[in-house]
Amino acid sequence: MKREQLYSGKAKTIYKTDDPDTLIAEFRNSLTAFNGEKKGEMELKGYYNAQISKKMFEMLEAGGIKTHFVSMLSDIDMLVRKVEIINIEVIVRNIAAGSITKKYPIKEGSVFKSPVLVFDFKSDEYGDPMLNDDIAVALGVATREELATLRKLALRINELLVPYLDGKGILLPDFKLEFGRKDGEIILADEISCDTCRFWDKETGKSMDKDVFRFDKGDISKAYEEVARRIVPEIFK
């Protein structure tokens, strides 16, 4: 049962439950980009992202990755295990897109020979600056052992996601993960959705993710719905 609100982020609100070990993540329709500078709303966004995330978590669990997902309590309310969030955005890149093509001489669309992993410090105040291991340790956000575990988990998740999405006609240029500590272990938390991944249609190369909103690339509702149709076709029956 939903108790008091614990925290409201840019796209999800977190509530306590009667059980101290679980929380409810409510997926909202609000959209933000560029550290909250650009704001919007999309009907059904919370629904599509919640359902897509649920499917991704189940698929990863089946592949041996521990996640915070417990069950869905409604279309948009996800029961999750309470974790201590690690303040690192773990970004995995397979094809160059977005910020890496602005910061470095790397052309959009170039395929990396092996995945490129980036750790960003999760901090709105500081604009999510990139970390290296020494800075992360100095900041106290994670230990060296934890950083190595994050790297291993993120690469394994990538190995599971890429073929899964390819089977649905979707390329995965990059995505962002967040992890948390639970009972001495590191488990996958947050969400995996159109807000946190770049999804490109395999045939046309068209964006089917938040880039449509970020860069006014077209109809965001259609883009998210198309991803939902491919990943969770059962919700359209």
149 sits near ligand TMP (criterion: CB under 6 A): no
**Residues 121 and 139: beta-carbon distance below 8 Å:** yes
Residue 212 CB, nearest approach to ligand ASP (Å) = 12
Residue 54 CB, nearest approach to ligand TMP (Å) = 18
Q: What CA–CA distance (Å, rounded) separates 35 from 210?
A: 13
By beta carbon distance, the residue nearest ligand ASP is 32
Residue 33 CB, nearest approach to ligand TMP (Å) = 8
Stretch that binds ligand TMP, among 19-27, 64-72, 156-164, 168-176 (CB under 6 A): 168-176
Partner whose footprint covers residue 208, from ligand ASP, ligand TMP, none (CB < 5 to 8 Å by kind): none
In the window 195-214, what residues touch ligand ASP (CB under 6 A)? 210, 214
User: Helix, strand, coil: what percent of the chain each, to 5?
Assistant: 30, 35, 35
In the window 13-52, what residues touch ligand ASP (CB under 6 A)? 32-36
Question: Of the candidates 41, 59, 12, which has an alpha carbon nearest to the alpha carbon of residue 232?
Answer: 59
Question: Of the candidates 189, 150, 166, 209, which has an alpha carbon nearest to the alpha carbon of residue 22?
Answer: 189
* The amino acid at 56: M
Partner whose footprint covers residue 10, from ligand TMP, ligand ASP, none (CB < 5 to 8 Å by kind): ligand ASP
Q: What CA–CA distance (Å, rounded) separates 51 from 113?
A: 32
* Residues with Cβ within 8 Å of residue 43, at least 6 apart in sequence: 29, 221
Residue 210 CB, nearest approach to ligand ASP (Å) = 6
Task: State the greatest distance between any 2 C-alpha atoms of the chain, in Å, as a whole number.
Answer: 51
Q: Which is nearer to ligand TMP, 23 or 154 (CB)?
A: 154
**Residues 122 and 89: beta-carbon distance below 8 Å:** yes
Residue 24 CB, nearest approach to ligand ASP (Å) = 22
Q: Which is nearer to ligand TMP, 127 or 233 (CB)?
A: 127
101 sits near ligand ASP (criterion: CB under 6 A): no
Q: What CA–CA distance (Å, rounded) separates 93 from 8?
A: 28
Q: What CA–CA distance (Å, rounded) separates 84 from 129?
A: 21
Residue 6 CB, nearest approach to ligand TMP (Å) = 21
Contacting residue, 31, 176, 213, 223, with ligand TMP by CB under 6 A: 176
- Which residues bind to ligand TMP, rule: CB under 6 A? 91, 98-99, 128, 174-176, 196-198
Q: Name the site residues for ligand ASP (rule: CB under 6 A).
A: 10, 32-36, 210, 214
